[in-house]
Structures are given as C-alpha cells and as structure tokens.
C-alpha cells in the first residue's frame, strides 16, 4: 500500500515568514495529492489539492508543488498569520483509490 512520509513534525515561524512542509509517497501510480488543515478541536479540512498532470497550484497565500519523478510534494504558505497555526496533513491515495493515506502531520505555530 501507499506510504506517506511528512516532515517536519513541528514548525515554528514568525508572523509574515513563509512555511514549507514536505511529503514523500511510495506509489508511483498515485495521481492525487490533497492537503488538509486541522485546527484545535476540529476535524481536518481540505485546503488545497493537486493532480499529477500539473506541477504547481496556487490559492492566495498557499501553494502546492509536485515532483512526480522524485515522488514528493510540498505545501508552501507565504505571509503566515497566527490563524495559520494548526496541524497540516498531506495525503495520497491508498491502493484501490477508495480513500487516502495521510502523513503523520505537521504542527505549524505562527508567533505574532
């Protein structure tokens, strides 16, 4: 099955700085890579995703890049704000595509 590795496990930045979270996957057939954000006391929520036919996708301050050759994808958050503080999960399809295999999460702390 798919194996998703996520780094770092924690990331502390100052407000206004950029943050980058990286993930690797094992199944070269995977073609859909979402990112979910989990705020304290809430369930994860989809914030952005990318498919294997594009290398980059942007949505305001967040962007995701994909390198299929190297089998890794990254989440980039620019001009971070305190409300960006949360746990971020990357994911890739499991074998059979019925659901997602999630990375172990990155706790992002943005200090004012």
- What does the binding site for other proteins look like in residue numbers (CB under 8 A)? 32, 34, 36, 41-46, 49, 51, 89, 93-94, 96-105
Shortest reach from residue 80's CB to other proteins, in Å: 23
Q: Which is nearer to other proteins, 19 or 87 (CB)?
A: 87
* Residue whose CB is less far from other proteins, 53 or 60: 53
Question: By C-beta, is 11 or 78 nearer to other proteins?
Answer: 11
Give how far Cα 59 sits from Cα of 29, 89, 107, Å: 26, 17, 21
| DSSP states of 12-74 | EEETT--EEEEEEES-TT--EEEEEEE-TTS--EEEEEEETT-SEEEETTEEEEEETTTTEEE
* Rg over CA atoms, the chain: 13
84: helix, coil or strand?
Answer: helix
- Supply the minimum distance, in Å, between the C-beta of residue 60 and other proteins: 18
Residue closer to other proteins, measured from CB, 10 or 18: 10
Minimum distance of other proteins from residue 76's CB (angstroms): 21
């Amino acid at each position: 099955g798919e194996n998703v590795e996520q780094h770092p496990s924690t990331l502390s930045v100052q407000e206004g700085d950029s943050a980058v979270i990286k993930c690797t996957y094992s199944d070269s057939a995977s073609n859909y890579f979402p990112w979910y954000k989990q705020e304290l006391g809430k369930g994860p929520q989809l914030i952005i995703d990318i498919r294997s036919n594009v290398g980059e996708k942007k949505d305001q301050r967040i962007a995701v890049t994909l390198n299929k050759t190297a089998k890794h994808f990254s989440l980039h958050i620019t001009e971070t704000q305190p409300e960006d503080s949360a746990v971020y999960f990357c994911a890739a399809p499991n074998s059979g595509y019925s659901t997602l295999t999630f990375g172990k999460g990155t706790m992002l702390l943005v200090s004012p």
